Structure 1
Amino acid sequence: MKTNDVGLIDKAVESLREQTGFTIEVDRYFHNTMDATGNLNTGAREIPLAIECKKRVTIPILANIRNQFVHLIEATEKGILIADYINPVMAERLKAMDIWFLDTVGNAYINALPVYIYIKGNKSVEEQTTSPKMNRAFSPMGLKVVFALLCHPDLVKAPYRDIAQTAGVALGTVGWVFRDLIRLGHIIEMKTLGRRLKNRKKLLERWLVAYPEQLRPKLVVGRYRAPDPDWWQTVVLHNLYAYWGGEVAADRLTNYLKPQTVTIYAWEKRVRDLTRDLIRWYKLRRDQNGDIEILKAFWDVEHESDRTDIVNPILIYADLMATGDPRNIETAQIIYERELAEHFREN
């Protein structure tokens, strides 16, 4: 634990007091494998806490945090995560995983019935003072460009027209996304070597947070249900300009997960035909709570030369992490280590 983290904890604890009236008293720092221990005083009871402090909470560390809290040395202690800022998407994921948290601007989740606290949406100082134009790289269209670069890092050196085709965006979009990525330190210009993608792991983390909030909801065609829950197991999609995503793709990669939700990404020009055929062949019926989701693919499906039945592992990882389901997150970590880690080592 860094000395600066002591101040971060103090600030978050004070924000909780201001928002709710509840107090946390830290009694020990640098305790065993945790950063601190203390007690949450709700007025009616005191709850022993084991505190883990992270300045930034990123998707790749969620499984480790959850495992750390599950294996607390003191069975009576409840783990709580304290961070500088937790955005609404991350707050939802932490809540789904039942990970208690506080941040320095008053966002919090504590579930100690009869006490229940869930506060999200308080903005950080950085968010309050940043112009929306400064975040265009993580707008829906910008996320398409960033995804293309994450999947094909050498694409950053290509002409803008080629990048636009691969990402499935207008030519002008590439220019303003690149300007943002240069400003954020993710693209650098090298005199003899041309453009280079930098800090790719951090860029991936930014994309993983923004994708389920900004882009994915716009891709959903519909949700369905089939009378045979195993209908998908013998279906071949790549000849249909479609791909398995999420849990089915993860199962194909790892043989570790029994899919509960079937996710299909389909080329926008063929998605209606695909949906019609699946309804006819497998008797799918529309159901807003169904376990089958069909989405529009947001990349250049038409010109892909190495099309397979599953989406890129980056997208599989994103789909799994967005669910907040512990089993999915565990599988996502396996995929990250097997398929992605070596490509995202700090550069």
Structure 2
Amino acid sequence: MADAINISAASVTILLKEMLASKYLHEGSNKKRIVNNKQELLQRWAVAYQDLLKPKIKIGEYTSRTVDLLKSFKQIMPEQWDGLWSGEAAANKYTNYLSPGKLSMFVTGNDKKWMSELKLVPVKENGTLEVFKFFWNKDHFIFSENSKLPDVVPPILVYADLITSTDSRNIETAKRILNEYIQFSN
């Protein structure tokens, strides 16, 4: 589990103990761990992801001098920069329902070719594009098998981006993604 999300084994141990204490996890037969209250746990995780993790991994906000990013995002292939769409752009690709009002992209490393190729200018706030650094191992089977599309983050991240929004269409789209792409097995 630690290698899937790039955290230490000690952090995983702490997390598992907290989940046991909070009754989100219990040990079944043969010491197999079973997750309880999956929907509630997902909601708590989405809020923590939005409030705690995303500010730490944010690279910046940008606007383009020459490219209308909102109109042309479907032609932009972030995987050429080892990146993936997230948020409203990814939601559009998963559901073909939501037209993005803001774009989000995850990238690896410090290579900023995306910045020059999209002719981006950093802005303090209200940029058209938010860029974040990957926090998970995108090649780990949990994530690589989870995404049905090559240029978007796993559905759980899109869900977390949208469900914590105050925009009703984002919340509605998050519910569609939950129902169509995020399965809770018992």
After TM superposition, the score normalised by the length of structure 2 is 0.85
Q: Report how many residues are paired.
A: 177
Gaps (5+ residues) in structure 1? 1-162
Partners of 2:28 and 2:115 lie apart in 1 by: 52
Q: How much has 1:302 moved relative to structure 2? A: 4.8
- Within the alignment, does 1:281 sit opposite 2:117 as a pair? yes
Residue of structure 2 in register with 1:333 after alignment? 175
Distance 1:279 1:239, change over 3 A: closer
After TM superposition, the score normalised by the length of structure 1 is 0.48
Q: How much has 1:265 moved relative to structure 2? A: 1.1
Partners of 2:175 and 2:119 lie apart in 1 by: 34
Query: Which structure 2 residues correspond to residues 162-173 of structure 1 after superposition, within 5 A?
Result: 163-173=1-11
Structure 1 residue matching 2:137: 3-state secondary structure: coil
Partners of 1:279 and 1:184 lie apart in 2 by: 43
Q: How much has 1:261 moved relative to structure 2? A: 0.6
Residue of structure 2 in register with 1:197 after alignment? 35
Structure 1 residue matching 2:164: 3-state secondary structure: helix
Q: 1:252 aligns with which of 93, 100, 103?
A: 93
Partners of 2:140 and 2:18 lie apart in 1 by: 27
Partners of 2:19 and 2:130 lie apart in 1 by: 32
4+ runs deviating over 3 angstroms: 302-307
Partners of 1:205 and 1:183 lie apart in 2 by: 18
Partners of 1:257 and 1:315 lie apart in 2 by: 16
Query: Which structure 2 residues correspond to residues 207-222 of structure 1 after superposition, within 5 A?
Result: 207-222=45-60
Structure 2 residue identity aligned to 1:218: K
Partners of 2:41 and 2:169 lie apart in 1 by: 25
Partners of 1:334 and 1:302 lie apart in 2 by: 26
Which structure has more relative contact order (CA 8 Å, sep 6+)? It is: 2
Query: Which structure 2 residues correspond to residues 1-347 of structure 1 after superposition, within 5 A?
Result: 163-192=1-30, 194-226=32-64, 227-229=66-68, 230-267=71-108, 270=109, 272-273=110-111, 276-288=112-124, 289-303=126-140, 305-306=144-145, 308-340=150-182, 343-344=183-184, 347=186
| CA offset digits 1:207-243 (Å, max 9, x no partner) | 1222211111111100001132234321223353321
Partners of 1:311 and 1:337 lie apart in 2 by: 17
Partners of 1:216 and 1:208 lie apart in 2 by: 10
Partners of 1:243 and 1:311 within 8 A in 2: yes
Aligned-pair identity (%):
32
Partners of 1:247 and 1:328 within 8 A in 2: yes
Distance 1:278 1:231, change over 3 A: farther
Greater percentage in strand: 1
Larger radius of gyration: 1
What value does the CA root-mean-square deviation take over the aligned residues?
A: 2.0
Gaps (5+ residues) in structure 2? none
Structure 2 residue matching 1:260: 3-state secondary structure: coil
Distance 1:334 1:302, change over 3 A: closer
Structure 1 residue identity aligned to 2:115: I
Structure 2 residue matching 1:210: 3-state secondary structure: helix
